[in-house]
Structure 1
């Protein structure tokens, strides 16, 4: 399992983050030629609705030197591209503050703490205001319903309403005033207008009762309506803030997995130090049950590490000396020591957190349309409210002035841009966070949204469908002498090739099995005096300078069949030339390698890589290409079939994709036979071998031209062009840094089963977004006309502003709760 997250440290997750210079926040490395063009991701404080986010975005957008700005209400952040020669961070901050909000400029680590503290303080403030507003609103309601005949009841209601509206609800008026100064309007504007209209009308009834009576108009009091609206909105805001905090629970869980302290070993002494004090090269002690503080390598011990925080795989992984260890993972077994290699923001965990935060702050394509609607929403509602008032007054005359005011206030109160603004980003935040907890890192909201629509998935072979680690599938020994196996192992140990490693692992495994079965102390693999030469495109040539002695074998084991002759060994190998390689090598050195037994073996393992092992006397080592006639035939000693093994979940993953009618394609630079063999085993529908990177890209472009939505899954540098050309690009964390940099999604670990899990997550997220938008639109489409009094001519029903306030608060909460279901639904 060591390789599960082996390459993350060298991947774009860390490289991209560490290479972003000149910024206190992570930037998107889009290779801009001008060094003064910068991108920052700023936390924004004080956003209360989607219209507020639109106000900030509009304000910043019109500043000189701003190239692009995107404000996300759900994540409370702004991604800003700007020309540092024309404008700086402080000037941007001043502009945002001028409209009643704030922009944090502190370094990212400090900013995270400040945001957490401010959000917690804001929640406590809203909660406290909601509690006191409720306490003062209760007697106000009691008086309005049963105590209007009490002495000074109207003045008592005035005092209570004044406290609730202007003391506990004063935040809405302050915010609305700041927005008004800059020609902006938001939810706070609607709340301030609606409550102040009801309050001022009621105040005029008390202060100058004769004015309304002289005009024959009723003098109703609406103090309780205005106060209860403030009460409901504060309660709704507190619940919304609480629910919104839960949408980032997955990222907070990642952030909290890194311990605050670690045990430093220094001069033989152990002492607790803050994680921030650890430097690369420090030696650390990790006890059972503790989380690893930084990335590093294992010095001593053989622990089992729970890496589920990073990979999503629940089974603890056994580690050996020199294996990589990752911050945030948990030691489940025994104490061990390690050397720190990556600390602070350079750790894999920090890189993942940055990636997830950036993804959560991105906008899905549908969100841009919703933002445009939300930006104009408040103005439209103000126009509707004025039209409602005028309609009641003009149609009903002065007798309907009370209902006109009631209807106008209800329209202003019930209209809610927050539900629209939260519908998409809340679902995106939860979806991306859920993916991160499963080991599916999604770079942006667009990829999460598009994955559900995929029709074709193109997969690379080596390292994607297969493990990328060749193994010996079968062997055919034509001479069973043990020393020949030891010799082959010794020759292959001197080669630097994945196939050679597979042969060595197989032969050493056979030796261990033999030792276990015979319960005897066999010698280790001999290390003879060998001279090996690499023959490009063919294989290896080896010459023995000293005989290999083996006291356990006194006689040569007979050949497996009599078509081949073998020299008498009698305990030592002959000083022949030995050849290990492909069919061309055997032909070139005239080693007889074909007969029925070998042909049957080759047919049985068609598609595998076949390795031949043969020998020729030293005295006749002439290259047959120059002296074919006089060359004596050599002897074939053994044949090995080598193939890359399939990943355990490859077949089940492909089967599940086919159940969803997704077409699967296997593209590889390997031979057509090898590719066809893998495709047959996994039931992949289309398989092509011998392809160059450009060929893969051309194939994907053909699929896209046919109207397909194509996802590409790869891990190598040669896959980067195809990944860039696909609609959805998916890389494996164990792959190359370039592949991960290009990809929109990264699967941490080796599990292909995360592909269908990602598709299900995408479908669930899209379904949640559509449901949220539907109810947000329906709520406003139905609620506003009802508040305006459209049902009154038929049913004589008028919506009370108090009920309108409760409905408005519940609309935002319902959208958030709907999004939060994504965290708990089974994938």
Structure 2
């Protein structure tokens, strides 16, 4: 290779290589050791399930040298183009399927000719009278040779070089087993005099059927792995290939990948948005369930954002592209899932240590079995020795060991994405299993983060509508969250804001303004006292508001106390159910908020949270989490912005995000749907994933521990039977298929939990309280 950087990627980053030819855990180990031995590489993670190598490099300009390391280990590799969304095929086993069918077609006559006589004695005599037994063996030789040289040549192409390099892998075991059976049978066919009397049996059917069954297993395994990656595939395929662009008033079609920021795009009813953008014309509804898990369409109008892959409803819309290519929400979700799938869990370290010695140990056991049968077995000893040796070589299966963890992570990450649970770090699933304390931020996490003016009590001599008009005028040009609440309250009552001639913001306290010729002061109790305002008439309603999980704001007009307003944030639909579910499972639930203590305590009582840390600054939240960790692992759930220190301090940081905010770097887990119930679902996914991994590992190791001795002949003294190499091949193929199939069960995790808010009717929400209080607004 001459071009050291074909994609001109910048330095200091992570490169992803697609690696072909990885067939078992030993293959993964060879590539891993080749990469780990290079000074150019800071870290590498080779994944059998995804057939990738994720490499952290100090200088990405050496990408071709890294590729050569993988090729030098015996595998083909290609650098994946950064930002390109690859669409895995639902059936990745096309090549295995074709090879299996050809092998089955050629092996069927071999099996019939050899085994037919064992099943039906009369068939043996028919062959003798028609073809002749010598001709039958020649036919079996030819057909078996075609099986090994044709569909089975892949085993030899990978296995033989690995043997010569002193790093045997699964293909090497298949090569040795089939070659031994074929070579012995060839001698028995063409030079039987070289063998002891009574030992000239042929095992062509074993060599042929072994190839057929292993190819069948790999085809089924590839299909299952394709299903494991179906979540990513569905996300990638949601983005349309073409879009309709408007240039100088002319509308034409353009490839989605050619869209640039600020392009004007026309979206027909029922079409999917091709890129992220903002609507400029038209109103309608968008189905964003593929991003957020929320089944209800979201109303969209001019200025609202839309995301690539989401579905337009029944309206014709015009949008301006803002984020394209790898910057779209859907592309970043795919990237997050792929990174999670490439993560290595701590539990894999044990697997690696075992696999490193597994294949050499199998070779030693196969040789030992053969020698034992030669010296201590009954006649014909050579035949028994061959059968035992081949069976041990074939039945041993590092494939299942290598797939046990990565294929489970692959399915779990994809399922998480479908549920709106994005794993920035795959090992978060393992850490989340041990969490016993869940700490929630309040605003924007348990609540929607959109305060509303839900009550307004006026002092003697002031009318509500007049005060509300003055408040709306004062807040007209303010960017504070309170301003929006007051403006919406005025709009709901049809009140026009007063004329604002002057406005001064008072950070952390409130504001003062001149509205309709009157001096208006809006803010905290401390601000009012500093201005000499007597609030004695308003303390009673203020206490009532605070007791109902509402914060208060005071209003003064012309140096006189005019009103006290109640501000309430709305609970997210499933906050109560999320807290209830965690507590019912024995979890400790804590609220950590910067809100005032009375309002925080009232909200906590509504949710059933007994432990509350109120009036905490971002740095204080981190300190609280650090203290709580002394009692065990802690998860912190926050909005991912000002909660970043606490998210980083926690054992598992869970960041709440909107559908377009999927690339936040604040947490280990990102809840794209912003639903607190997803915390419960993420915990269930963690438990199910780790249980699935343990089941897979138990099967993979247990399979070999139990069946390798059987293949060696451990049952012969009791049953008088030895394990056929063909049955060994079938068991080996089945073991990998079972591991992948077990992992696929994770696609059902989370069924019954959604962001639909269906549980909201089971409790009294803050929205209900706000609605009752709003009568007085």
Q: TM-score, normalised by structure 2?
A: 0.89
Q: 2:211 aligns with which of 225, 230, 240?
A: 230
Counterpart of 1:469 in 2: which secondary structure?
A: coil
Counterpart of 1:338 in 2: which secondary structure?
A: strand
Separation (CA, whole Å) in 1 of partners of 2:57 and 2:676? 40
2:556 matched residue in structure 1: 614
2:692 matched residue in structure 1: 768
CA shift in 2, pair 1:414/1:167, >3 Å: same
Residue 504 of structure 1: CA displacement?
2.2
Q: 1:133 aligns with which of 89, 100, 103?
A: 103
Counterpart of 1:44 in 2: which secondary structure?
A: strand
Residues 1:605 and 2:605 aligned together: no
1:269 matched residue in structure 2: 250
Residues 1:495 and 2:478 aligned together: yes
2:279 matched residue in structure 1: 298
Counterpart of 1:818 in 2: which secondary structure?
A: helix
Gaps of 5+ in 2: 118-123, 752-777
Alignment check: 8 A CA contact 2:329 2:662 kept:
no
Residues 1:650 and 2:631 aligned together: no
2:766 matched residue in structure 1: none
Alignment check: 8 A CA contact 2:520 2:555 kept:
yes
Q: Deviations over 1:463-511 (max 9, x none)?
A: 1112222212311123336433322221222433222322222122122
Q: 1:44 aligns with which of 16, 19, 38?
A: 19
Q: 1:415 aligns with which of 379, 396, 402?
A: 396
Separation (CA, whole Å) in 2 of partners of 1:25 and 1:674? 55
Separation (CA, whole Å) in 2 of partners of 1:499 and 1:763? 41
CA shift in 2, pair 1:63/1:589, >3 Å: closer
Counterpart of 2:405 in 1: which secondary structure?
A: helix
CA shift in 2, pair 1:742/1:580, >3 Å: closer
Residue 205 of structure 1: CA displacement?
1.4
Residue 109 of structure 1: CA displacement?
6.0
Counterpart of 1:128 in 2: which secondary structure?
A: helix
Separation (CA, whole Å) in 2 of partners of 1:396 and 1:481? 102
Residues 1:675 and 2:675 aligned together: no
Q: How does 1:732-771 map to 2 (within 5 A)?
A: 732-734=656-658, 740-771=664-695
Q: How does 1:667-816 map to 2 (within 5 A)?
A: 667-706=592-631, 708-734=632-658, 740-816=664-740
Counterpart of 1:798 in 2: which secondary structure?
A: coil
Counterpart of 1:797 in 2: which secondary structure?
A: coil
Residues 1:530 and 2:501 aligned together: yes
Residue 786 of structure 1: CA displacement?
0.7
Q: Deviations over 1:562-588 (max 9, x none)?
A: xxxxxxxxxxxxx55433333234434
Q: Deviations over 1:212-241 (max 9, x none)?
A: 24xx45211111111111111111111111
Q: Deviations over 1:708-744 (max 9, x none)?
A: 1211111143321221121111111249989931311
Residue 817 of structure 1: CA displacement?
1.0
Residue 612 of structure 1: CA displacement?
2.3
Residues 1:101 and 2:75 aligned together: yes
Alignment check: 8 A CA contact 1:23 1:40 kept:
no
CA shift in 2, pair 1:536/1:735, >3 Å: farther
Residues 1:350 and 2:312 aligned together: no
Q: Deviations over 1:577-619 (max 9, x none)?
A: 4333332344344443214x74155235336332222334xxx
1:59 matched residue in structure 2: 34
1:518 matched residue in structure 2: none
Residues 1:587 and 2:562 aligned together: no
Separation (CA, whole Å) in 2 of partners of 1:539 and 1:292? 41
Residue 788 of structure 1: CA displacement?
0.7
Counterpart of 1:803 in 2: which secondary structure?
A: helix
1:446 matched residue in structure 2: 427
Q: Which moved more, 1:334-343 or 1:36-45?
A: 36-45
Separation (CA, whole Å) in 1 of partners of 2:592 and 2:464? 41
Alignment check: 8 A CA contact 1:717 1:739 kept:
no
Alignment check: 8 A CA contact 1:25 1:108 kept:
no
Q: How does 1:273-422 map to 2 (within 5 A)?
A: 273-396=254-377, 399-422=380-403
Separation (CA, whole Å) in 1 of partners of 2:31 and 2:283? 54
Separation (CA, whole Å) in 1 of partners of 2:145 and 2:229? 37
Separation (CA, whole Å) in 2 of partners of 1:539 and 1:240? 64
Residue 449 of structure 1: CA displacement?
2.0
1:142 matched residue in structure 2: 112
Counterpart of 2:645 in 1: which secondary structure?
A: helix
Residue 107 of structure 1: CA displacement?
1.8
CA shift in 2, pair 1:64/1:667, >3 Å: closer
Q: 2:181 aligns with which of 198, 203, 206?
A: 198
Residue 409 of structure 1: CA displacement?
0.5
Residues 1:158 and 2:132 aligned together: no
1:554 matched residue in structure 2: none
Alignment RMSD: 2.5
Q: How does 1:107-126 map to 2 (within 5 A)?
A: 107-108=81-82, 112=86, 123-126=93-96
Q: Which moved more, 1:229-238 or 1:58-67?
A: 58-67
Q: How does 1:74-93 map to 2 (within 5 A)?
A: 74-84=49-59, 88-93=62-67
Alignment check: 8 A CA contact 1:105 1:111 kept:
no
Residue 75 of structure 1: CA displacement?
0.9
Counterpart of 2:570 in 1: which secondary structure?
A: strand
Q: TM-score, normalised by structure 1?
A: 0.84
Alignment check: 8 A CA contact 1:533 1:540 kept:
yes
2:742 matched residue in structure 1: 818
Q: State the number of aligned residues.
A: 731
CA shift in 2, pair 1:585/1:109, >3 Å: closer
Gaps of 5+ in 1: 1-21, 27-34, 512-523, 547-574, 617-633
Separation (CA, whole Å) in 2 of partners of 1:738 and 1:721? 19
Separation (CA, whole Å) in 1 of partners of 2:500 and 2:618? 43
CA shift in 2, pair 1:278/1:365, >3 Å: same
